[in-house]
Structure 1
Amino acid sequence: MRAIIEPPPEGDEPAGPLWRRLAWFFGLALAGLLATAAVAYGLRALLAAG
């Protein structure tokens, strides 16, 4: 069975494909955006309720 989390490549090994690295980048950026929006709307709802 292949490990879900793999160690980073050694210095002489090439990095993964560009599309995979970009997909991770955009996925993490989108997750951060959604988390920030959820917190902001939650705080806004708390302020409006008070």
Structure 2
Amino acid sequence: MPAIIIDPVPPPTPDEPPGPLWKRLAWFVALSVVAAGVTAIVAYALRALPFAG
């Protein structure tokens, strides 16, 4: 029997209210900051690639 580490959570029903606005905005801001950071890291790595070696 496999070990279940995380309990699956069913999706919300259509009549269930969404979470609070501040929490949804915080997720949006956090994801966009992380995405911009990853994009910058990849861009600088690709820019430095011709100078390596």
TM above 0.5 = yes
Note the aligned Cα RMSD (angstroms): 2.2
Sequence identity of aligned pairs in percent?
56
| Matched length | 48
Gaps of 5+ in 2: 1-5
TM-score (norm 2): 0.73
Q: Which has the higher contact order (CA 8 A, sep 6+)?
A: 1
**Structure ranking higher in helix proportion:** 1
Gaps of 5+ in 1: none
**Which runs of structure 1 show a deviation greater than 6 angstroms over 4 or more consecutive aligned residues?**
none
TM-score (norm 1): 0.77
Larger Rg: 2
